[in-house]
Every structure is written in C-alpha cells, then in structure tokens.
Structure 1
C-alpha cells in the first residue's frame, strides 16, 4: 500500500488532521491501494479562509493574464497525460484509453475558458438617455466550491475549475474520495502553471466536508455532479444558505431505434455507449427502444452476440473494451439490480454476473448483461443502475418510443437512430430531455455549448461549461453614468428616471 494521500491547500500538499481516512482501492486486484484523509469542518474552514485571502489578488489580475495560466496548464497536462491516464485508470478501473478521453474532455473546457477575455465582456450603450451612458461588467463571485464524482475524476473537476478560475474566483474542490489522486495532481499542475497559492484548494472528505461547504458563509456558489438524491440535497441546502447552485444528478438515457436505421452501425454505437467505462457514465445509454417487433428481434439478436463478445480486462490493457467497476460495493449494487430484474420477469438474454478475469479473481469485474422485454413499471427501467447493463424496452410505434424518455423521471440525454431527417427533426424538437443525439449515441456537447439535463437529472437554472458557466461564476454589475457639464439648474426630482 502506498503512503496516505493528502489535501492540497495554499499551493502545497497538506496532511489531514482529522484522524479519519477512507480506503482507496485498486479495482483490478480488489485490494486497498492507499488511504485518503477525510477533512473535518475545521479543515474546510481553514481552506476557505486561505481561498478568501488569495481570491482578492487573483481577481485583480486581468482576464488575459489569468488565461495565460490556463494555457500553461494545458501544456503541462499534455506533457504528462499518459502518466495521468494510467493513474486515473488504476483508481477508477476504466481503461487507459478511456481515461485519456476523460482528461481530454476536461482540457477542452480549459481551452474554451482561455477565451475568458471575450466571455467576460459586458455591454455598453451611449446616450441611453440625454447625457447618460449605461454599461455592465461581469465580476467574480469570490470563493466557489465544486463537489465532483468518482466516474470522471479529471473531466468534471476541470469543467468546474476552468470557467471559475478564468472568471477570477477561487475554488474549493471536494473530489470523490474513491479516486482522488488525479485531482490532487491536477492542482499541483495548476500551481506549476502559475496559479497563485490558495486560488485552488483540494479538500478531500465525505459528508462532513460537503456540509461544511454548503453552510460556509464565504462560499458563494456550489457546483455538484452525482446521484439525484444527493444533487437535490446539495441544491436545496446550498440555496437555503443563499448560494448559487448547479447540481446534476442521475440519468436513464434512451436510444430510440427506428426501423429504417443502419442496424449494424447502430449496434456498434450502442455497445460502446452502454458498456464503455463499465457503464459508469451519466451519459451511458442504458435503455434501447426498438420500434416494432421485427426491429426489436433483429436488434436483440445482434446486441446479444456483441455483448457476449465484449473484451474485459484490467484497466492497463489497452485492448480491453471495459475494465472493473470502481469498488466492491458498486459491483454488488449492479448484481443486485440484475437479480431484481430476473425476479420482476424481464428476460435476461446475456448474464454477466459470473464473469471472472483469470489472475484477477478478487477484482471488481462484471460481464455485460442484456435484458429484453423490460417494461416501464420495472425497477430496471425506472432507476439508474450505473453498471454494464443494457435493457431493451420494445415500442409498438414512434409515438410510444417518443413518450418513453419524455415521461421518464430523468431527462439527461437521449439518442435517435434513423435515416429519416423529418423524424429526427420532430424527435429533437419534441422529446423532453436536455441533450439529444441524432445517430450519435453519447450526445455530450462540445465545450462551447452547455451540458445539462432536465427534470430529476438537473437542479438549477444554468448548465455546465459553455457561456452558461461564465454566467454562473460571475455576477453582473450595471452602471448608469452621467457627467453633467454647464448645468445651471439641477433641481431635485421626485419622478422615477426614464429614457425620455
């Protein structure tokens, strides 16, 4: 076991003082790799105090100078990306190529955030009234917090930190305690890139640290990604404490398969979207909805063959399609869902519960599982499984297929596979979800668009990355200016000002 991990405060690694730790596992071997300290409320308070002091000077830096730090950070991460991907994969379990993608999607938001000088521009109107000019400016909130999940230990922290830092805020990052090593290393690289000490502090912890963040009066905004129950808790607690909050929760992403689609290409897309990263993605396709019995029969036959042929290996095996789940508890949760699906009467076409990887019998591996003839009343359909499980819900026609994702509790993402442009346009306009893919299985928008789900998948008015992120991390100040010259009669007025 390697030495205990630390926090990162005031530009350096700092040992925990709470005497509470959480185990960090090697999911390939099923053993404890290291321990991470769990911060006390006092430790969070100290980190926030440090951030408050550092943010004042950071906010005085002009946006272009702050952007140069982000550009230098990009260079440093790219120089180290192979080592970072290996480290990420060793704690999470996703394959190294998938881990590189995790980092790269985070860097794309850093690249976008380097455009902060443009994104932070306000508006200006001359002669809004006689001799009156009106202009606005965007200013940082102060200290903000990010509470990020285990499944993207590089991407989501960078999605939060990039716009927040570029806007002139200081950031308290509370990463997942399941795989905290990469966030700590990213903080070090920010410091090497020239970020002043204290502007980005990483505080590891559990619910005590989260609650300390939510109740701290000097933290002005909170961004969260995780499960829906916790997202709702974070949102309601943060807003009750007069903080801005953007909180993203669970998902049940559907893929609608129309009879005219290229079925072989669609199956290729579904296999990767359902089973990549062992299904531990909020944008994973977990429900396939073929329209018509003939389409369904052909789809299930092809999916079953591909599911049985998945290449499962250790996370360092670059030829593997997927690696292990993150913890033993995560694996048990998925197995329990599969057991329940069988009890509820769904047809288990491919059973991945008994998969064992030779030489890694204690690792947290599961094979891919495929269910057919799942109905909307089943738990398999209603709840997020977060594992390598794909369920098929058969729809008799297009309208029924459209209703399924629209009426589901979650509204994160959806995809439609078709050659019919009219059907695709109608579907994109009418479906009640936040993100839509047309012949694209994982519709994650590019960095200059916003990312966010609807209904129980998202809480808050503004989404992640894109222009919304800069709106979230700044406050708008509007100035009405008049410079009177040679005015002889400036008598008091008791009438509300107008543009007349």
Structure 2
C-alpha cells in the first residue's frame, strides 16, 4: 500500500514523488458530506510552495522527460493504467468519503478517467508527423508536434479523479510535466493519483500536486515557467482564469458551467425519456456539468405524461450515504451548497413555478448532520426565473413547456451556455435537424448525457468554454503540444563527388 498523501488526518502536497507537509501555516477543512463531520485538514499552499512544485516539474522536463522516447513514456503509462485498475476500489472509496457520491457513481468516475489513460497509452499514434517529399527539387517538408514544457491543471470538486485524469495522462504522454491543483474540498483522490504515478515509475517531478485555494491558483496563472493551464469549474471563474492566464502569455482551456436542455418531442417514448431525465438530473446529486437541468416538453400532452413519469421515479429514489449499497443518491458537497440549492427551489415557487416533487428538509436517519437534500421537480418554469437562468448544480430538474419544435430550439439556443443538449424522438429527420441546429458542443440523440468517449473531445460552446481547445481526444493532444514545420534540402551526393561506399564492379 502506497503512503499516498496524508499524515494522520492531515493532507499535504505531493512533490518530487513524495508526500510533503504544508509550510504555509494555512489549512482548510475536508468534510465527510454524509455525516457533516470535519474529517481531515488540507494544507493550503503558499506561492512559494507552488513555486517549488513548478520548479520540480521544470527540472524533470529539462532532465529529459520532454525528449524521452515514446516507448519509455508509453511503458510507464501502461504500468500506471494497471495500478489504477488494481486500486480503483480504493480510489472510489476516497471519492465517496470526501465528495459524497454513491459507490457506483464513484466507480463510474474512475472508469471514465481510465479511458483517457488508455488513450494516452496510444500516444505514439497521435504524435505521428507528416512528410512531403520533393516539394521543390531536392526539398522535403515535415511537420511534427513537440511538448510545451510545464503545464498545470486546476480541477473541480465534483469529479476529483476523473477530471484530473482527463488532463495529466495526455499531457505527460506528450512529453510535458504537470502540476495539479485539485479542489480543496476533496483533495485526497488527486494526491493518490500522483502517488500511483510515482509507484508506476514516473520520474520525480513529472506529476506534482499542490493543494490550495485562490492563492495557489493565482500563482499558477502568473508563474512564468507554466506554459499552459487547463481548468474546469464555474463560468465566472473559468472566464477569469482564461483572462488572467492569457494576459500572462499562457495557452488556456477553461471549461465553465452549463444549463443542459433535454428536448422531448411528442413521438418520444416517454418512459425511456423519463428514465433518462431522472438519471441525468439527479445522478451524483446533480453536481456535474453534464447534468440535465431543464426538460423542454413539446405540447401539453407530452408535458403532462412526462412530468407524471418523472415524478413517480423521483419519489422512489433512495437517498443516503454513498457507502450504503442501497443508496442511489448521496449528499451534496457542503452545507452551504445544499442551502443554496434549496434556495433556488423556494425562489422558483415565489416566481410562479409549480413544485411537483419537493426535496427540502430531507433527513437521513443516522446521518442527521449530513449535507442531504432530496430531489426536486419544478414544472411550468419560465426562462425569466432564477432557477432557469442560473446553474444550480444540484438535484433540481426544471420542466419548460413549449408549443412546438421551433419554440424549443429558439429557447435552447438563447441560453448563455452551450455545453450539452439532448433530444428524445423516434423520428430520424427530427433528430438530424436538432443535432445540426442546436447551439451546443455535445449533443445526445435519445442519450441524456452526451459525454464523448475518450477518443473524441469533450467541450461546449459559448459560456461553457473559454479557449480554442476541448479536453482529451485529438483536441487534448493539440492543446498539450505545438506544431513545428521543418524544411530540408540536401544536395545530391553525386553532385559533390561524394563516395557513398557502394561496391564497384569493373
């Protein structure tokens, strides 16, 4: 068992392949959301501690990681993939303890992260260059991709393992070294990921972790030795990260928030649509950027039938601690976030929405101090309500009723976000039209959460993405490398009378 990251109940940093305690004197609480207990303390890095992590990464890059053979890098990634697979239960348990999501969700998160490690194991195919010969007499042109140097990732609380795994495996496979700043709300998964990389044989400094808050983030964004920054979080912070990092000359991909719509047409199978809506809206307590937060129902009959089916399923959901196999949904990440989500439900009622299922005031026996909130279903929501306009990031599903497809597509495309959208229909022509017309980066057809597999890229449009590159897939490789074109001209040796050593026959 690797000594990953903790000293007792204290979580420090992971630099140069070893756990190190914080020296800033500042710490933050890490709660168990199911009990409400303050379970651990996490070090909050100073600017100097961030500098130490970056210096370690830069030394590793200059010591040869950036020029290490593809064979060496991929061999280490294969070892890393095997270790992650062996330790997935341990990693999932950490996620459940600090985030609160149920065990099946935590294991699913690890599995989706493993997809990107597997993609990184095949990096040799992605880094193949191109060659054109005889573009002019005796002149060849080749294009190739090279690493950037030290890159950083700033990741959110809702996927403490998956989102880091969306970033650093590809980054290091491409020859970069990496500094990870995970969420201070659930930091243990990120430091375990780094410890397993060390166990797999990655050289010291290739993957470092600094835990911290805004002070650590600000230093990473301004550090002159950090070449690029990947970020996932809320839209206001994503916009600020993009602005600040680009002002410091860095390449940036910053994924922001979402308000994902699910359009249900009158011909759809309403039972299938209801199943999809419940899973996508309430899974992981709605704390995911690909959650369906708005169902758009075309026609009153469609809406009535769909709302009844969703309500029946929502009321039957079993809510409890994530480590209970019977639980289908766990608590929210903090008490403050739970109260904010609950406030949106109250506000929607005051603004005229109809409360079909009320999740307020839920108490889980034996976990009375946990950060639990039941699921809520709001019907007859209008676009001017706060519950529609804002990203709630909790187990609240809004239903908007529209008269026809044209009204629906106009509503969806007017949203400030464009992360994901889905349509449920039996009509191929309607589905094709939707996927072409909807203003979103990821589209599902009879699929409620259209998260792409690892070899396609993840990312939205509008206020859901700041920067030019999506994460993982081909876009991820392009983000973590830069192109170079080499034009060569060699004189024909015969012109200079060079002896090539060929056998002579007289």
TM-score, reference length from structure 1: 0.96
**Contact 1:2/1:33 (8 A) holds in 2:** no
For 1:279, the equivalent position in structure 2 comes to 286
183, 190, 202: which one pairs with 1:183? Answer: 190
Please list the CA deviations of residues 444-481 of structure 1 after superposition, one character each: whole Å capped at 9, or x if unmatched: 00000010010000011110010110100001111110
SS at match of 2:397: strand
Structure 2: segments with no counterpart, 5+ residues: 1-6, 497-506
The yes-or-no answer on 1:394 pairing with 2:397 is no
1:482 maps to 2:489:
yes
- Shift in Å at residue 485 of structure 1? 4.0
1:425 paired with 2:437, answer no
Kindly indicate whether residue 466 of structure 2 is the aligned counterpart of residue 459 of structure 1: yes
Q: RMSD of the TM alignment (CA)? A: 1.3
**Residue of structure 2 aligned with 1:139, choices 146, 164, 173:** 146
Which residue pairs with 2:91 in the alignment? Answer: 84
Take 1:281 and 1:3, find their aligned partners in 2: how far apart are those partners?
A: 28
Superposed CA deviations along residues 328-347 of structure 1, whole A, max 9, x for unmatched, are 11101101111111111111
Structure 1 match to 2:204: 197
127, 130, 136: which one aligns with 1:129: 136
The answer to whether 1:209 aligns with 2:222 is: no
CA displacement at 1:487 relative to structure 2: 10
- The aligned counterpart of 1:45 is 51
Aligned-pair CA distance for 1:77: 1.1
Q: 2:3 aligns to what?
A: none
Q: Provide the residue aligned with 1:222 in structure 2.
A: 229
> Is 2:240 the counterpart of 1:233?
yes
1:324 and 2:331 aligned: yes
Greater Cα offset, 177-186 or 336-345: 336-345
Distance (Å, rounded) in 1 between the aligned partners of 2:363 and 2:275: 25
* d(CA) in 1 for partners of 2:197, 2:8: 24
Match of 2:276 among 262, 269, 277: 269
Q: What's the counterpart of residue 29 of structure 1?
A: 35
Matches within 5 A, 1:344-355: 344-355=351-362
Residue 318 (structure 1) shift: 2.0
**Equivalent residue for 2:255, pick from 226, 248, 253:** 248
State the 1:308 CA deviation: 1.3
Describe the superposition over 1:31-90 as per-residue Cα deviations: whole angstroms up to 9, x where unpaired: 100010000001101111111010121112111210111111111111111121111101
Partner of 2:500: none
Distance change (3 Å), C-alpha of 1:2 and 1:12: closer
Q: Deviations over 1:83-131 (max 9, x none)?
A: 2111110100000110001111001011011111111111111001111
Match of residue 265, structure 2, among 254, 258, 265: 258
Spell out, residue by residue over 1:394-451, the C-alpha distance to the aligned partner (whole angstroms, 9 max, x if none): 0110111111221100000001000000000000001000000000010000000010
Separation of aligned partners in 2, 1:2 and 1:338: 40
Deviations 1:243-294 (A, max 9, x none): 0000000000000001111111111111110000000010000000110011
The total of aligned residue pairs comes to 489
Q: Is the 8 A contact 1:64 1:116 kept in 2?
A: no
- Once residues 182 and 295 of structure 1 are traced to their aligned partners in structure 2, the CA distance between those partners, rounded to angstroms, is 43
> In 1, Cα distance between the equivalents of 2:78 and 2:338?
39
**Could you tell me how far 1:179 is from its partner in structure 2?**
0.4
- Shift of the alpha carbon at 1:486? 7.0
Residue 2 of structure 1: CA displacement?
4.8
Report the Cα distance in structure 1 between the residues aligned to 2:74 and 2:269, rounded to whole angstroms: 44
Q: Distance in 1 between matches of 2:338 and 2:435?
A: 35
Which position in structure 2 is the counterpart of 1:13?
A: 19
Determine the structure 1 residue equivalent to 2:503.
none
**2-side partners of 1:318 and 1:249: how far apart?**
32
Q: Residue 306 of structure 2: which of 288, 299, 309 is its match?
A: 299
Question: Equivalents in 2 of 1:3, 1:321: separation in Å?
Answer: 28
Check if 1:62 corresponds to 2:75.
no
TM-score (norm: length of structure 2): 0.95
Question: Aligned partners of 1:422, 1:320: CA distance in 2, in Å?
Answer: 39
- State the Cα distance separating 1:488 from its structure 2 match: 8.9
SS for the counterpart of 1:375 is coil
- For the pair 1:311 / 2:318, whether they are aligned, the reply is yes
Aligned partner of 2:365 among 354, 358, 370: 358
Give the match for residue 79 of structure 2.
72
Aligned equivalent of 1:438: 445
User: What stretches of structure 1 of length at least 5 have no aligned partner?
Assistant: 490-500
Structure 2: how far apart are the matches of 1:383 and 1:2? 40
Asked if residue 340 in structure 1 is aligned to residue 347 in structure 2, the reply is yes
